[in-house]
Structure 1
Amino acid sequence: MHRPPTAETEVARELAAVRPGLLPRFTAGLPGARAAVLSRLWRALAHEPMPWRTGRTPGRDGTVLTLRDGRTLSGPHADPYRTDAYVRSVRLDAVVYDDPARLMADLAVPGGDALAAELDHCVASLALSRAGREFHSDEWPRTGWEWEQRVVDGHPFHPNCRFRPGFSVAEQLAYGPEHGPVVALGQVPVPATECLVSGEWPAGMRDGGRVLLPVHPWQAAHVLGQAAGGRIDAHPLMSLRTLAVPGGPHVKTALSARLTSSVRDISVASVAASAALSAFGERLAAHGDGLLHITRTLGAATAHSPDLAAVLREPPEVYAGPGERVVPVAALATTSLPASPAWLARFARLALRAGLRALEVGAALEAHGQNLLVVLDAAGEPRRLVYRDLADLRVSPARLARHGIAVPDLPARMITDDPEVLRRKLFGSLVAGALAATAGDGAALRDALEAAVRELPRTPDLVALCERPLPAKALTLMRLTPRRSGDLWAELPNPLRHPSC
């Protein structure tokens, strides 16, 4: 039934020209990439509040979805927390589909054609990512960026997990972290009088009266349209636009490309707020019983444009003691650690304790697997957490006041006392995101949560976590309705209340 999508053909053509040795692995990896994307899409179709889906029925051999026009879509049991490529095909009425792009196109729903094109690109890009690198769970990296580069498949639940429009094959190989490149960042000089600088901008990134802004080479070529002088060799992290300078900071660059769901740039407002956010992060960490560290922003600067800006952060490794390593939570699934139910329960207890404590104090963290890192001791035991990138947290003035903390000067979008908004932010990213992806399926997540919550203070937030449906961003629905601003949410069956998960 398979009809080769255009993106697969185009990537194969480019790959044959720039890296022909990878072509056999790319071709062999296409069926697995289709299954990985189809598995994410099937989860979304089954569990996100699609307006054109009227029913979901668990059957003897799987799940059946009823569409508004009377058609039925059937596939395996739709575990909302399963992350492996377990869906090889689904059936739309009598037609079997193994290709997520073709399925999305033939569903003929609003926004479906655009998303189908994105899924087409994503499958080809994911197969390319897998062709380039191989890792073994018993070979642990020595550096932080090597841990980041083990995350080959991208977002564990988003069908657009490796969507990189505007990047040629050569550029994906040159800049994608999973390919392990060294990226030469350029530096664009901007008169200091024409820059907004927040925090301390290092002397080594100044030239007299000019600020030297680090620029990603893709941004220089495709957005700025100018060559950037200077050279800073850096290693791309899993976000692609943030890179680690050996012996130096992490550099978040403006990269005005749509990656996964969002256009990546650095707003002027985020630069202006960066110093206040960093100071707030330090105060918040001080209330965390020593279990949570928050990386500091060392400096941020912008030429009053989201296309020409940079943020410098301290690397998470500064919070590791002797014999310890700091591992992004998204990379834990590349190790054998989560296979131990006892280890997973201890990690869940640590993550929930720290996240709920921050929420009680007044900050809801966007604690997904990219922002959240865990400090492991020499035996691999989880000891503390490190959180980075405060740009998407939500802050409650009422909760902060109860703990004697002044409300920082932050953008209005970050301020709310609505417990629903605060809990969605934390639970959707930490539980339905980081912990679910680490567990790998609903049963393992349930067991870990059941063991963890027994040892946590029974606050109103914990009660909500235990007794209500689990919120998760409706990422696919958001892509199907791109003109609508703001997050859309799904309510997933709570593993603590639904034994079938």
Structure 2
Amino acid sequence: MDRLLLDAQTLDPHTLDSHTLGPHAAPAEEAALGALLRCWLREVGGPRGHVHAAGPHLTLRVAGTPVRVRVRGGIALRFDGPPEHLAEGRWRPLDLPALVALVESELGREPDGGNEEFATQVRAGREAVAAILAARARAVPPADPWLASEQSLVAGHPFHPAPKAREGDGWLDYAPETHARFAPRLLGVRADLVAQEGDTAALDAFGGAPAGYVPLPAHPWQLDLLAAELRGPLADGRLVDLGTGPRAVVPTSSVRTVYDPGTGMCLKFSLDVRITNCVRKNAWYELSGAVELTRRLTPVFERLARRFPGTRWLPEPGYRSAALGTRLLEGLGVIVRTGPWAVCGPGTTPVLAGALAAGADGVPGAVLARRAADPVAWWEAYVERVAFPVLDAFFRHGVVLEAHVQNVLVGFDAAGWPVEAVFRDLEGAKLVAGRHDLTGLPGEVAGPLSYDAARGWNRVAYCLFVNHLAEVAATVAGTADGVLRSLWAVARESLERYVANHATGLDPLAPLTGLLAGAPLPAKANLGVRWARAADRSAGYVPVPNPLGPAEGERR
């Protein structure tokens, strides 16, 4: 793939304007402005009582200055028109620099003080979207419908202040949104220095290594980032560079996980790069943790599939790296993951839930047609396929699945009906403390595998209801508020049916029955954690209105 002349991360974001960004400036600005404004409405304005209804608009006070927006889509906050702010007695269009200045002014009053990185990160996200759009305009999308959905998330997380900001140079060559394909580099690791567990046969399929060495595919971007640390091992023969691998792989929505068409497997690489809130590397304890969770969750998913036909998952049966100190052990670590085509039934097409939430791009035409023809019945099937196994995993098996829109693939039949749900990424899967015997595991591995029950439920509820179902429901409903209300009423009926038919004897169900009684939902505070420059695991939650609660006439 040709390199773009505009690499958003190598230019000073303070010098970029609409002329520099070219024809993609307007949609990039809209995406960045919308994401930051949603964060502000959800995390700050709403909880502080600074959001008020004013006719068809919401009025938000930021740093004492009114901002007026038109929104729809319930808790998904889809904008119906451009945001405006009151300046010199007139309502004027609000642009990204003005909103960033308002946010900085208000958050800067907090006891923790300011954040000199924040504005740069927000602008970098905007410029990344513009660069992606420019590259995408001249790229050819993949013929594989699942990969097309994986590579469709141009705007990124709708509730993150800088969803597409990425550190480092050259990232466009490896970006899924640009329809990139690239060949991994192949290293040889001296046999006595190989660190691996489980089934790693998929890695051997990338080519042979000299006698006494074991092959290890590596992400070219990561090798660039590790260049200084690799000089010694390459010079003294602990590692050998075997050149470019034999075939191209395709990056999926997480950027660092790729699909290998040759084996039908996925490879999860490390990348020492911040994408949204996290530096995306395979921590050493996560390498062993993936294999351990695969072993433990195999019987769980077998039971879930019997109870809820159509439930699938993508195991992570092995990893390989080089025992050359923690930095290289993590940086070169590759986790093997089963590919979705291997687990979906005949005639079933997997589609990334994130693509379904974002709109039509990357979604097969049959799915769009069926959804439009009968949105309520389509939605009922969708909720049951996705929500039932996630809830049962938590309540019956003590397993936390992160069922957000990037971790779930939905399988559709030829008519466009949702018939399967495929769950992936064991990094976010956790075991509820006290429900599983972790004796025998090293403490450094066992600790990150567990959540207490309250933390686990917050993660389940946020990922499933707020990040996933709310976003898909808003897209299905479009501009029809009546349809949106019908969708949530059907979702409530489906969850009541789960409680009646599947949850007998499960204890405690209080978190779910509390939601059905109208308790607020937890929404992850991405703006707060980014402003605090804290690790993603320290992110808190803010309460948001719960559309699953009883209708007004049913409340007592």
Pair in the same fold by TM > 0.5: yes
Contact 1:198 1:272 survives alignment (8 Å): yes
Distance 1:181-1:430 versus aligned 2 partners, 3 A rule:
same
TM-score (norm 2): 0.77
Q: Which residue number in structure 2 is paired with residue 215 of structure 1? A: 218
Query: Is 1:388 aligned with 2:384?
Result: no
Tell me, yes or no, if the aligned pair for 2:525 and 2:540 is still in contact at 8 Å. Answer: yes
Does structure 1 conserve the Cα–Cα contact (< 8 Å) formed by 2:393 and 2:400? yes
Partner of 2:415: 379
* Contact in 2 for aligned 1:141/1:147 (Cα 8 Å): no
Deviations 1:288-340 (A, max 9, x none): 12342221213212334322211111101111222111111112232325542
Local SS of the residue matching 1:183: coil
Q: For residue 342 of structure 1, what is the aligned residue in structure 2?
A: 377
Work out whether 1:356 is the aligned partner of 2:391.
yes
Q: Is 1:431 the counterpart of 2:465 in the alignment? A: yes
Decide which of 62, 84, 89 is 1:90's aligned counterpart: 84
The reply on whether 1:35 has 2:30 as its aligned counterpart is: yes
State the partner residue of 1:22. Answer: none
Q: SS of the counterpart of 1:43?
A: helix
For 1:378 and 1:228, how far apart are their aligned partners in 2?
43
The residue type paired with residue 156 of structure 1 is P
Task: Mark the runs of 5 or more structure 2 residues left unpaired by the alignment.
Answer: 1-10, 109-113, 231-240, 501-508
How far 1:237 moved relative to its partner? Answer: 0.7
Q: Which amino acid aligns with 2:448?
A: R
- CA displacement, residues 339-372 of structure 1 (integer Å, 9 cap, x when unaligned): 4232122201221111111111211111111111
2:512 pairs with 1:478: no
What is the aligned-residue identity percentage? Answer: 24
The whole-number CA distance in structure 1 between the counterparts of 2:179 and 2:131 is: 13
Q: What is the letter of the counterpart of residue 473 of structure 2?
A: A
Question: Cα distance, 1:59 vs. partner?
Answer: 2.3
Asked if structure 1 preserves the Cα contact closer than 8 Å seen for 2:290 and 2:316, the reply is yes
Structure 2 residue corresponding to 1:284, chosen from 285, 297, 300: 300
Deviates more, 1:247-256 or 1:185-194: 185-194
Provide the aligned C-alpha RMSD in A. Answer: 3.3
Match of 2:101 among 93, 98, 105: 105
Paired residue total: 474
Deviates more, 1:479-488 or 1:5-14: 5-14
* 1:78 to partner: Cα distance: 7.2
* Residue 62 (structure 1) shift: 2.2
* Alignment counterpart, residue 324 of structure 1, candidates 348, 352, 355: 348
Q: Shift of the alpha carbon at 1:235?
A: 0.8
* 1:90-489 equivalences in 2 (<5 Å): 90-91=84-85, 94=88, 96=92, 98-107=94-103, 108=105, 109-110=107-108, 111=114, 113-133=116-136, 142-168=144-170, 171-172=171-172, 174-202=173-201, 203-204=204-205, 207=209, 208-225=211-228, 229-231=243-245, 232-248=247-263, 249-288=265-304, 289=307, 290-303=309-322, 304=326, 305-332=329-356, 333-334=359-360, 335=363, 336=368, 338-339=371-372, 340-360=375-395, 361-399=397-435, 410-418=445-453, 420-440=454-474, 443=481, 444=484, 446-458=488-500, 459-466=509-516, 467-483=518-534, 486-489=538-541
Whole-Å Cα distance in 2 between the matches of residues 11 and 194 of structure 1?
Answer: 50
SS state at 2:354 partner: helix
Q: Deviations over 1:30-71 (max 9, x none)?
A: 22221222222222111114799563322224223345x644
Looking at structure 2, the residues matched to 217 and 127 of structure 1 have their Cα atoms a distance apart, in angstroms, of 24
Q: 1:397 to 1:481 in 2, by over 3 A?
A: closer
Q: Deviations over 1:180-214 (max 9, x none)?
A: 12211112222233332121222446634333322
Alpha-carbon distance between aligned partners in 2 of 1:40 and 1:190, rounded to the nearest angstrom: 43
2: CA distance between counterparts of 1:321 and 1:406?
37
Aligned-pair distance for 1:277?
Answer: 0.9
Q: Between 229-238 and 329-338, report the one with greater CA deviation.
A: 329-338
Tell me the CA shift for residue 475 of structure 1.
0.8
Structure-2 separation of matches of 1:82 and 1:489:
16
1:175 Cα shift? 1.4
3-state SS of paired residue (1:456): helix
CA deviations over 1:386-417 (Å, ceiling 9, x no partner): 1111111221244558xxx9998753133234
Return the alpha-carbon distance in structure 2 between the equivalents of residues 399 and 186 of structure 1.
42
For 1:490, which of 530, 538, 542 is the aligned residue? Answer: 542
Question: How far does the alpha carbon of each residue in 1:398-446 deviate from its partner, in whole angstroms, 9 at most, with x for none?
Answer: 4558xxx99987531332342x212211111111112122222685252
SS in 1 for 2:184: strand
How far residue 143 of structure 1 moved from its aligned partner, in angstroms, is 4.5
Question: In the alignment, what sits opposite 2:43?
Answer: 48
Return the letter of the residue paired with 1:224. A
CA 1:269–1:190: 2 relative to 1, 3 Å:
same
The offset of 1:86, in angstroms, is: 4.0
SS of 1:34's equivalent in the other structure is: helix
TM-score (norm 1): 0.84
Q: Which amino acid aligns with 1:492?
A: V
Structure 1 residue ranges without an equivalent (≥5) = 15-25
Per mean C-alpha deviation after superposition, the further-off stretch among 181-190 and 290-299 is 290-299
- CA shift, 1:479, in A, is 0.6
Q: Match of 1:476, as an amino acid? A: L
Instruction: Provide, for residues 260-299 of structure 1, a one-character-per-residue CA deviation record: whole Å limited to 9, x for no partner.
Output: 2211111111112221111122122012123422212132
Q: Is the partner of 1:306 in helix, strand or coil?
A: helix
Q: Secondary structure at the match of 2:76?
A: coil
Change over 3 Å in CA distance of 1:113–1:344 after alignment to 2: farther
Q: Is the 8 A contact 1:285 1:294 kept in 2?
A: yes
| Counterpart Cα distance in 2 of 1:482 and 1:330 | 26
Distance 2:121 2:405 in 1: 23
Query: Cα distance, 1:481 vs. partner?
Result: 0.8
Question: Which residue type is aligned with residue 261 of structure 2?
Answer: P
Aligned CA distance change for structure 1 residues 301 and 113 (closer, same or farther; 3 Å): same
Separation of aligned partners in 2, 1:41 and 1:80: 17
Alignment CA distance shift 1:31-1:327 (3 Å): same
Q: Return the index of the structure with the highest Cα Rg.
A: 2
Q: Deviations over 1:435-490 (max 9, x none)?
A: 12222268525245234324322543431332311112111111111136612112
Alignment CA distance shift 1:216-1:498 (3 Å): farther
Q: 1:298 to 1:377 in 2, by over 3 A?
A: same
The answer (yes or no) to whether the contact 2:38–2:77 under 8 Å persists in 1 is no
Superposition deviation, residue 150 in structure 1: 2.5
